[in-house]
Each structure stands twice: as structure tokens, then as C-alpha cells.
Amino acid sequence: MPTPPAPSSPAERHELTPARETQLRGRLLKAQFDLNRQPRFPVIVLLSGDDRSGINAALNFLHEWLDARYLELFSFGPETPEESGRPPMWRYWNNLPHRGRIGVYYHAYGLNSVVERLAGGLGDKAWRERLEEIRSFERQLTDDGALILKFWLPSASRSRKKAVPRKSIRLSELWTLPAEASGKTKVERDRYEKVTRQLLTETSTTASSWKVMDEGGTEERCLAIATALGDSLTAHIKAWRDPVRGTPPRVVCFPGEAALPDLLGALPAKHAAADPEAALDRLQARLQLVSERAYERKLNSIIVFEGPDAAGKGGVIRRMTCAMDALHYRVHPIAKPSPEENQFHYLWRFWNKLPRPGHMAIFDRSWYGRVLVERVEGFATKAEWSRAYDEINDFERQITRSGTVLLKFFLHIDFDEQLARFERRLGNPLKKHKITEEDFRNRDKWRPHCQAANVAFTRTSPPGAPWHLIPANSKKVARLMVMEKVLAALEARL
């Protein structure tokens, strides 16, 4: 991706004449029009720093010069109660501009993270994790094609004022104070500068580096920001290459993958259980009590189900949900992304489905589609699904780090059992609607799908979110195994 140019040097600056304004604004508007005409990627302009008046001026300047119909503003203050129950980056993933749009982030994770660190809300470990989460957020977006421009506007004042002990500072107080007091009166100046320097240094990359606007007056800063946006956007559009999708890969396994263990092939074909109906009743009674306790204690949980067609995912979900209060869970059936969902990074539609505090989110198929069906069918390019393993690990790490219980199940049946279930469905008027020609076509790629799944198990099973492989030739036994693991995880946390 092209690196955005730095603001012009003092020697290159000159008075904004009407002719120069027309030239600069016309160039910026043309770039915005070209972006909107072919909406291939989004643009994020992050305005942050402690010069609140300067940031407001830049914000208004961009809205004056650009076409406001294709400009989206996202303002972020202190976390709301709803936001605080999710991973810190949740609210930024939920507020992304559409492809073809320019989104302006007011403060966002820049100043917010600095303020939280200074207020004592982030210890050393949490601070390092936050910086990594910011880098990951930006890396995933830029890898997907997004253009990110980040501007830090420091206050022009260099005066020192009496410091206030850190233990007396509240995050809400920092947000209600004027910009000059925020970080310069309420905390030691040297600590503020150290934390800011860490943020700017450790979250600057080739694709998304910070531009510190520490020279010139308000008008010059606004012009530098507008010029950088116009230049970067024009270059990004010119360098864009549409990825080629929809072509199935010629090879199933790549170097190193063929040697991975066949975890699905090692599963036993059958499992026995004594009186599975009675056991299911006992487990459902426990689940009812445990889910109520989780709701009262605001314990979030996410249950993911993957597996071949007719593996019994829907049956397991029905046995779980009938034991719980319908207000405390939500089931998300994941299919082909909608036109709206295609306007964003593929993980966006999963970030915005993370459960509220005390609730359970159940996914019938999930974000693993990127490394399973999308990989096998060629709906994602090799570059896209190759980097998705790390993106998924990071996504799940942020989920579990926030305190959410995450359980991932792969229900597996053998090739013959799937065919038998298809035939029974065709003869059942209540289930034959589930069968399509595509289900039979997918059987032709049984081996590639199994190999892709084995790769996913190996590369996405961190300690906090391991895969649970369930032999599901017996539906009743599979339901018991899943519910036992769900109960064990929830009860351990409660």
C-alpha cells in the first residue's frame, strides 16, 4: 500500500489564495468522487491529540471541503456500559465506514487509550495488549485494502502546571476538562509525553503511520491534513488492484499442510451412551440453572458450531436453547454475506454480533468460513485466507481476554452417514426443504473440506479457545458431549 506523504515543510507553505483553494479542493473532491464511484475500499481519517480546538477546526474543515453525503463521522468518548462489557476494540469494529466512503474518527483509540493509561485504567500488561490490539485492528483493515490516515494534533501550549496525584484522577473527569487540562494539568507532563510517545511510536506502521501536526497555525494544519488526504487517496486509487476470487485452488494442500495430523480421520466412528434421553434431561435442567446464574453475574459466552451439512448442528442448538430463557441468548445462522456485509471487512459481521453482558451468542457456522468453504471454493484469495488464521486467533484472543467464555465445536460425520441423512431428509416433508443441489455438489469436495478443517484445527486452537471435535454419527451422543462441555466451561467460570 502507498505510504501517505508527510505534511509540507515550512518553505513549501504559502498563503491560501482563492486560486490555490480551488485547485486543492477540486483535487480532493475528485479523489472522493472516484472513491465513491468504484467503492472498493474504505478510508479512515483519525483526528486525535490534546488540541481539542485544533481537532474541531480540522473536523469542520474536512466537512466543508468534502461532499458530506459520502463522509461519515464517528465520535468516541468514554465507554458506555454496553461497550465496557465487550472487548475494547468492539466499538471501533462496529463503527467502520462503508467501502467507497471516508470515515472521520474523532479521538477514537488514540487519545482514549492515552487517557485510560494515565487514569490508571491500564496497567503495564494491559497497556501492551492495547497497543497490540490497535496494531492488529489497523493491520487487518489495511490488509483488506483500507486506507488509514492518522493525525495527532498536540496543544500549542508548553506551560507547566501543578500536577495532581494520579490516584485522584477519574477517567470521566479527564473527559470533561478542557483540552489544556486533559493530560497537562491532571497528570505529570513527563508521564503524559512518555505515554503519548509510546502510542505514536508503537502504533505507527508503513501502512498506517501517525503524522504529528506540531507546526503551523490552525489553517496550515487543516490544509496539511486535506492535502495529505487528497494525495494519499489519489495514490491509493491508482495503485489498487482488484483481487481475483471465485476460482477454486488447483491444489488442496500446500507445503507443510500435508504433514499435519488427520484429526477428523482419527475420530471414533461410534460412541455409546447409557440411556441418552435421561442424560439429556439432566443436562438440560443443569443448563437452565447455569444460564440463569450466568445472566445474573453478567458472564458472556459464545458457542460456535462448524461441521459438514447434516452433521446435526441444528439439533444440538435446539436441545440447548429449549432449556434456556429466550431473552438470554441469540442464535446466529451464518450464510453467504449480504451486500451490506460485503461493504466491510469479513470479520465486521461477527464483531457486531458479540453478546451483551450476561448473554450467550450461538453461531451456526462462523468466521471460520474464511478458512473452510471460502478457501476450498475460491471465494477468498490465497492471500486472504492465508492471513485469516492469524486474524481469527487475534479476534478470539480479544474475546477471551475480555472475560467471555468461547467454545468451538466441530461436529463430524462420515461420508456414508451424510448420504444416509440426506436421503432421510428427502423423505421427510418437515426436513426436505433443507436439501439443495448444492448439498450434493459439496460432497464432491469432501476431501478438500476435511483437509481445510484439519489445517484450521492445527492453526487456530490457542489455550483459551481450543477446538472440540465431536464424533456425530450418533446424534444423541453428540448432543450429550456438547452440552457436557458447555456446562463444564460455564460452571468453572461461575
Give percent of the chain above pLDDT 70: 90
Q: What is the average pLDDT across 334-348? A: 96
pLDDT over 60 (residue 177): no
The pLDDT tens digits for 30-84 are 999 999 999 999 999 999 998 989 999 999 999 999 999 999 999 998 888 888 8
Least confident of 209-218, 244-253, 255-264: 244-253
Choose between 452 and 254: higher pLDDT: 452
Which range of 20-24, 135-139, 212-216 scores highest in mean pLDDT? It is 135-139
3-state SS string over the chain?
CCCCCCCCCHHHCCCCCHHHHHHHHHHHHHHHHHHHHCCCCCEEEEEECCCHHHHHHHHHHHHHHCCHHHEEEEECCCCCHHHHCCCCCHHHHCCCCCCCCEEEEECCHHHHHHHHHHCCCCCHHHHHHHHHHHHHHHHHHHHCCCEEEEEECCCCCCCCCCCCCHHHCCHHHHHHCCCCCCCCCCCCHHHHHHHHHHHHHHCCCCCCCEEECCCCCHHHHHHHHHHHHHHHHHHHHHHCCCCCCCCCCCCCCCCCCCCCCCCCCCCCCCCCCCCHHHHHHHHHHHHHHHHHHHHHCCCCEEEEEECCCCCCHHHHHHHHHCCCCHHHEEEEECCCCCCCHHHCCCCHHHHCCCCCCCCEEEEECCHHHHCCHHHHHCCCCHHHHHHHHHHHHHHHHHHHHCCCEEEEEEEECCHHHHHHHHHHHHCCCCCHHHCCHHHHHHHHHHHHHHHHHHHHHHHCCCCCCCEEEEECCCHHHHHHHHHHHHHHHHHHHC
pTM: 0.89
Report the DSSP pairing between strands 467-471 and 71-75: unpaired
Average pLDDT of the residues in 158-182? 39
Residue 130's pLDDT band, with cuts at 50, 70 and 90, is very high
Q: Check whether 25 has a pLDDT greater than 50.
A: yes
Average of pLDDT values for 106-118? 91
**pLDDT higher than threshold 60 for residue 326:** yes
Q: What percent of the chain has pLDDT over 90?
A: 73
Q: Which of 1-5, 112-116, 245-249, 347-351 has the lowest mean pLDDT?
A: 1-5
271/472: higher pLDDT: 472
Q: How high is the pLDDT of residue 258? A: 78
> What pLDDT is attached to residue 188?
67
Q: What is the mean pLDDT of the chain?
A: 89
Position 124 scores a pLDDT of 96
Stretch 214-224: mean pLDDT: 91
Q: Is pLDDT of 181 > 50?
A: no
Tens of pLDDT along 150-162? 999 998 654 333 3
- Specify the range with the lowest mean pLDDT, choosing from 46-60, 113-127, 237-251, 407-421: 237-251
- Cα distance between residue 25 and residue 29, in whole Å: 6
pLDDT at 274 over 80: no
Q: What is the pLDDT of residue 190?
A: 85
Query: How confident is the model at residue 252, as a pLDDT?
Result: 67
**What pLDDT score does 458 carry?**
95
